Structures are given as C-alpha cells and as structure tokens.
Chains A and B, each alone.
Chain A
Amino acid sequence: MIPPVRALGWTALGGTIVMCSSDRLVHFSLAVSIVALTVASTKSLKTIKTFVTISLPLLVPLILIHGLVNPQFEMNARMWSVPYRQEGITFALSVYSNLAVFLAIATGWANVNRDEFFDWMVACRVPVFLVGLVGQSIAMVILIEKRGRAVLKAQTARGIPTGPNWRHRLRALPSVILPVVTSLINEADQRSTALWSRGFLEYEFAAKDLPFGGFREIGWVAASIILPAAIDFSLRA
C-alpha cells in the first residue's frame, strides 16, 4: 500500500508538469487523469464531494465570464441560438484544468488525516519548530472558532444586540472579536511554558520513515509523472 501522503505527493508533482503543458487539449485530458488519480489516492468519496463543491462554482463563472462576457474573445459561435465565444470557452477550460488539478490535490490533502500529515512532515525532516508551529496554529484555529461561539453567547447573554440588521451586527463585531484576540495573546506566556515543559521544540524527534509501496508505487509514479512528462515532451518536440 502506498502511504496516502506520498501518493498525493507524486500526483502533485505530476500535476505541476500538467499545469505547464502547452497544448490545451492534452492539458485538459492530462488534468482529468491527475484529478482521477488524486481522488483514487485518498480512497474517499468525501474527496469527490469536496472537489465538486469547490471547483464547480469556479467553472461556471469562468465559462460565463470568458465564454460570454470577455470582449477579448470573438463572439463566433452559437448554441441553441445563444451566441458565445468559442476561444473564450477553450480558454476557460484551460484555466479550469489548472484549477482542477490544484484543487483536486489540495482537496485530497485536506482529507488526509492530521496525524498522517505530521508523520509525513517529520519523515521529510521538516525542522521541528515548523512542525510545531503549524500544529499549534491548526489547533488554535479550532479553538478560535469554539471561543468565538462562547464569546458570542456570553455577549448576547449580557444584552449586547447581535442582530437583527447589519448595523447592529457590525457594532457588535469588536465585542466578539476582541475577547478572543486578547485572551489568546494574554495566554501566550503560559502556553509557551507548558509546551516547553513537555520538551516541545527542545529535543530532536526520532523520525519514522514512511514505508515504500513496492510495484504499486512505481506504477503510480509512472502514471502521474513519467507519462504526462513524456506526452508533453513529445508534443513540444
């Protein structure tokens, strides 16, 4: 089995090559293959759902803006008596291909378990302080949302109007944001001491290397990197 983070890593490299590809049709086809590989690497239906939810809202405005509105492309085609700009549509699909590759990889990445992510960072010998910094940041983002809800409740409980119109909500904004900011900053000293006492950032990790996936991984590298690179190279030649 290929560790998911490494499979994603190979498809990311392949995706970078595809994003630089010159021929629009090849570009689009290879992009489709990279997206499929990425989804397969995570083995998760959630990845498909997330990918579609994030990317479709980008595809539709792209097609509308460049296929209908952008005056730099000629209005030279019709579909069901609706005029459109054919070059604009091709341009939109090309831009979307890059986006789709990027979004698929990033969406796959977002569905990677947090523990696997950190194991991968350590296995890649990322400096411990960076690993810790990213870890604390992500943990505190979750905390900020939780605190924000608690603060909103507490300020509502005290009678501060948090609605019904935008003017009230705007005036309430400092009362919700500032307690979150102030409490986090005031806690910095204690947090730092507590983490230091655990030996956090003080000692080197014993990095655990992720296992090699055998022939499967070789096949994966071939499909995601070697094949697109070869096709693109031969077209340019």
Chain B
Amino acid sequence: MQPQIQKHLVVSAICIALNVGLGKVSNLLGLPFTMDTIGTILGAAILPWQFLLLAAGLSSVVASVVIQPAFMFYIGTQIAIALAAVGLLSAGMFKSLPKAAIAGFLIGICSAIVSAPVTAIVFGGVAVPSISALNAVFLASGHSLWTSVLSGSMIVESIDKIVAGVIAWYAIRRLPSDMRA
C-alpha cells in the first residue's frame, strides 16, 4: 500500500475519532456541545473526497459502538454534513471567523433537515434530551410530529454547529502547511 494512502487512512481515523471524542472534551468543561462535525470539516479540508465520505460514514458506526447505539441511524446525516462542508470550504466560508460561524449555522440546518426524518420515523420524535424537550413543546402547541422534530432539531443543531464551525475555523488555520488545500 502506498505511503500516501496509508497516511490518508490514519488522517481519516483521526477525523473519525475527533467527531466521536471531542464531545467528551467539551463535557469536561461542563459544556453541552457535541462537536461531532469538527473531524468532518477538517477532513473536508485535508482528505480526498473518497476518504472524507468513508470517515463521515464510519463516524456514525464508531459513535454507535463507543457512545450510544442510536448514532448508527444518522449515517446519512454525517455524509450530508461532509458534502456540505466540502461545498462551504470551496466557497471560502472558512476564511474568516464570521463566515465560519455562518457556515456552522448552515451545516446545522442541513444536519437538522437530514436527521429529522430519522428522529421522527425511527425514534418517534425522541432523541437527545434537549431535542426531545423542544419537540414536545412544538407538539403541544399544535404542530405535527414532523414539523416539531424539524423545528426542535434546527434550534439545537444550529447553536451546536455554530460553535463547531468557529472551532473548525481555528483548527484549519493551524493545519500544517503541507496539508492545507
């Protein structure tokens, strides 16, 4: 196997591990952020698209083994985020801090839209506690299950992903020069 491919595999493993593990690091500070997209956004900056999609998909698999089994159902979400990250990076959205925050917000919206059907159909509107609570509020106010799940996810995911976008911006600036695209 060529050294370059081996390096891509190791970097993919790092990106997967960052997606899965950084949430725990954020929890050490008592913050509720999942940070489950920083690895994907970094991967979009440094990996070929094949390895990026592999890393994104396997992030859900590894998360379901290490954190919580429900993550397995969100493979589609991770892949959608990977594609969104590639698009946003190409559009220069991670070149400044305000743009990175907007990029994070857009990734959050994308994540919410793709996750909502899974949460509604498979989990009946119940996922992580914060989203569940918001979903209940929307349901009680007369919205349908689908609308409630979508609205709850959008609020929580966009806050989470804005923080992730900002951190990813910092991290991209610190990549070794030979790795930066």
Pick out which of these stretches binds chain B: A23-31, A63-71, A74-82, A218-226: A63-71
Q: Which residues does chain A contribute within 8 Å of B139, judged by CB atoms?
A: 65, 69-71
Q: Which residues does chain A contribute within 8 Å of B25, judged by CB atoms?
A: 144-145, 148, 151-152, 176-177, 180
Q: Which residues does chain A contribute within 8 Å of B11, judged by CB atoms?
A: 185, 188
Q: Which of B3, B12, B29 contacts A133 (CB 8 A)?
A: B12
Q: Which residues does chain B contribute within 8 Å of A201, judged by CB atoms?
A: 1, 6, 9
Pick out which of these stretches binds chain A: B82-90, B99-107, B108-116, B117-125: B117-125
Contact yes or no, A184 B3, CB < 8 A: no
> What bracket does the count of chain B residues touching chain A fall in?
35 or more
Q: Does A99 contact B (CB under 8 A)?
A: yes
Q: Does A231 contact B (CB under 8 A)?
A: no
Contact yes or no, B65 A103, CB < 8 A: no
Counting chain B CB atoms within 10 Å of each CB, the highest count among A54, A149, A162, A180 belongs to A180
Does more than half of chain B's interface fall in helix, strand or loop, or is it mixed? helix
Q: Which residues does chain B contribute within 8 Å of A134, judged by CB atoms?
A: 58, 61-62
Q: Which of A92, A96, A172 contacts B29 (CB 8 A)?
A: A172
In the complex, chain A residues 182-223 whose Cβ is within 8 Å of any chain B Cβ: 182, 184-186, 188-189, 191-193, 195-196, 201-202
Q: Does A157 contact B (CB under 8 A)?
A: no
Binary per-residue interface labels of chain A (85-115) against chain B in the complex, 1 for a CB within 8 Å, 0 otherwise:
0000001100110110011011101100000
Q: Which residues does chain A contribute within 8 Å of B29, judged by CB atoms?
A: 152, 162, 169, 172-173, 176
Q: Which residues does chain B contribute within 8 Å of A70, judged by CB atoms?
A: 139, 145
Contact yes or no, A192 B24, CB < 8 A: no
Residue of B nearest to A110 (CB): B65
A-B contacts, 25 listed (Cβ < 8 Å): A71-B139, A72-B144, A95-B124, A99-B122, A102-B69, A105-B69, A132-B9, A134-B62, A136-B9, A138-B65, A140-B13, A143-B21, A148-B21, A148-B22, A148-B24, A166-B31, A176-B29, A177-B25, A181-B42, A181-B174, A185-B46, A186-B176, A192-B3, A192-B6, A196-B3
**Chain B residues close to A by CB (< 8 Å):** 1, 3, 6-7, 9-14, 16-18, 20-22, 24-26, 28-31, 33, 35, 38, 42, 46, 54, 58, 61-62, 64-66, 68-70, 72, 122-126, 129, 132, 135-136, 139-140, 142, 144-145, 163, 167, 170-171, 174-176, 179
**Chain A residues close to B by CB (< 8 Å):** 54, 57-58, 61-62, 64-66, 69-72, 91-92, 95-96, 98-99, 102-103, 105-107, 109-110, 117, 129-130, 132-134, 136-141, 143-145, 148-149, 151-152, 162-163, 166, 169-170, 172-174, 176-178, 180-182, 184-186, 188-189, 191-193, 195-196, 201-202
